[in-house]
Structure 1
Amino acid sequence: MTYRIESIINPELEVKLQQKINLKTKPIGALGELERIAFKIGCIQQTENPKVENPAIVVFAGDHGIAAKGEVNPFPQEVTSQMVYNFVNGGAAINIFSNTNGLNLKIVDAGVNYKFPEVFDIINAKIDFGTKNYQEEPAMTLEQCEKAFFKGGDIISTLKDGGTNTIGFGEMGISNTSSAALLMAYFTKIPISDCVGAGTGLNNEGISKKQQILSEVYKKYDPKNPLEAMSVFGGFEIAMLCGAILKAAELKMTIVIDGFIVTAALLAAQAINKNVLEYCIFAHNSNEKGHIKMLNFLNAKPLLSLGLRLGEGTGAALAIPLVQVSVNFLNDMASFDAAGVSGETKD
């Protein structure tokens, strides 16, 4: 579980990048967050001329044992497999957003409680047919958790070998907001009641019941390290996300982080290797209750605030075009000298 993730800090390059940004035909700072993104991607790629190449979205899907009881989720567990069918058929929001923005969309069966036809355009990385119910026992074994980490990393390595250097992540799994809330509480030490939200649409009574159930689950276990916490509370799709995020950083890829569940995976990843955060751009502020607290814990500044809480990587798919335009302005926008425009006057 060792990842060799190098820091992107390079003072000499940083000076050159900032100078290049400042000399574009605009007032200093006039492109706001786009300037920050351009600077960061230059640092990630260690160049004054970064590129966004073959951007992709990877959606990991998995089922959760606790969902079978229906106590923390308003939708039945079968919705996970049904939504994977929807992804394959091109009918989901992530399909529309990916198609619109020219993103390579990959769907991964990390552990859905269903056997998909082999002809489906799905990456079969299934660990098992859903996790166990953590009300009764850990969600998965340590061996299963490690396997999920490595499989997530292998998927990213394949994409990198195919020319992808910018990647966004999404997920699908009924009850995965419950796992994310438990992981959030473990890694941030925020009270579990402040981590639990509506998920796929619980009313106030449902949220209260979910808080009570997850509080009991949280007290039941005492994980000693990030891998153990993921094995106890996580889902196969969340564990695979964590491994994928770590591998993407090791491969020096730009990582676009989606909402509540993907950020929960990132909490585990940064507990394993803090340098992973240097490769992350945060797509949006989800409307799921705990997400803003996660972002604050990570000192993260999201690009968008659109009231989204769908998952699937939809926020990442909307943010990647902003990443692309940031790189393009850095490379293609004229400098004052090149355009023959007078720059700032000096006293």
Structure 2
Amino acid sequence: MGIGNSTCAAALMHALTGADAAECSRGTGADAATVERKRDVIAAAVARHGLHAIGDAASRARAALRDVGGVEVSMMAGAMLGAAATRRVFIVDGFIATAAYAATVAIEPALQGYGVFARVSAEAPHARWLQTLGAQPLFNLGLRLGEGSAAAPAVPLLRAACAMLNGMATFDSAGVSGRSAS
């Protein structure tokens, strides 16, 4: 589609992780010349705003969202902050959503446990970023783009997990006695 949000997400990755701009821009299915142009734009934008020079992670994330993040990524970051403020878990699905999550966690580290990663993208930068965040996605569907496409199957999976945890009998309620310490 060429709507540019993967470029914003790649710029955030470059700004927040220090990963090489070329590594952050690979994987959208574009030809080599387009990826090279994208890399140059990302590196120039991050340098122009001096984002790597900002030492405090929260300040750098706020500046990166403002300067290179794009309105949709910034809005997702705000929604994630709002969800966590009301103690609600949310689903992170795709490279762009991961960019919003990473910026949000840099701003508010306590948010870390509220995001559930639906999938890993076939885009190499996404897999690398998930590894950096220590995220364990629920699915690997081999999709490149398709933000939100794994959220649909993730919801019933998460509901089932909650039902199992909330409905699981305890040893006492099940009348199990003589349990071993192992």
TM-score (norm. length: structure 1) = 0.46
Report Cα offsets for 1:256-279 as digits up to 9, x if no partner. 111110110111111111001121
Residue 316 in structure 1 maps to residue 138 in structure 2: no
Residue 253 in structure 1 maps to residue 88 in structure 2: yes
Partner of 1:243: 78
Report Cα offsets for 1:253-310 as digits up to 9, x if no partner. 0111111101101111111110011212111111122112211221111111111233
Partner of 2:44: 216
The residue identity in structure 2 corresponding to 1:243 is G
Report Cα offsets for 1:181-236 as digits up to 9, x if no partner. 0101111111111111232x313343233223322333322134322211210111
Are 1:196 and 1:289, in contact at CA under 8 Å, matched by a contact in 2?
no
- Secondary structure at the aligned position of 1:281 is classed as strand
Partner of 2:27: 198
How much has 1:341 moved relative to structure 2? 7.1
- Secondary structure at the aligned position of 1:304 is classed as coil
C-alpha distance in 2 between matches for 1:188 and 1:346: 44
C-alpha distance in 2 between matches for 1:235 and 1:258: 17
Structure 2 unpaired stretches of 5+: none
The residue identity in structure 1 corresponding to 2:48 is K
C-alpha distance in 2 between matches for 1:317 and 1:227: 30
Among 270, 278, 283, the alignment partner of 2:105 is 270
How much has 1:239 moved relative to structure 2? 0.7
Q: Percent of aligned positions with the same letter in both sequences?
A: 37
Question: For structure 1, which segment, 332-341 or 255-264, has the greater mean C-alpha deviation from structure 2 after superposition?
Answer: 332-341
C-alpha distance in 2 between matches for 1:232 and 1:345: 58
Are 2:27 and 2:122, in contact at CA under 8 Å, matched by a contact in 1?
no
C-alpha distance in 1 between matches for 2:119 and 2:159: 16
Are 2:6 and 2:96, in contact at CA under 8 Å, matched by a contact in 1?
yes
Partner of 1:287: 122
How much has 1:339 moved relative to structure 2? 5.4
C-alpha distance in 1 between matches for 2:73 and 2:178: 49
Partner of 1:325: 160
Higher relative contact order (CA 8 A, sep 6+): 1
Are 1:241 and 1:262, in contact at CA under 8 Å, matched by a contact in 2?
yes
Structure in which a larger fraction of residues adopt helix? 2
Partner of 2:68: 233
Are 1:255 and 1:281, in contact at CA under 8 Å, matched by a contact in 2?
yes
Partner of 1:183: 12
TM-score (norm. length: structure 2) = 0.84
CA RMSD in angstroms comes to: 2.3
Which protein has the larger Cα radius of gyration, Structure 1 or Structure 2? Answer: 1
The residue identity in structure 1 corresponding to 2:101 is L
Aligned length: 175
Report Cα offsets for 1:79-99 as digits up to 9, x if no partner. xxxxxxxxxxxxxxxxxxxxx
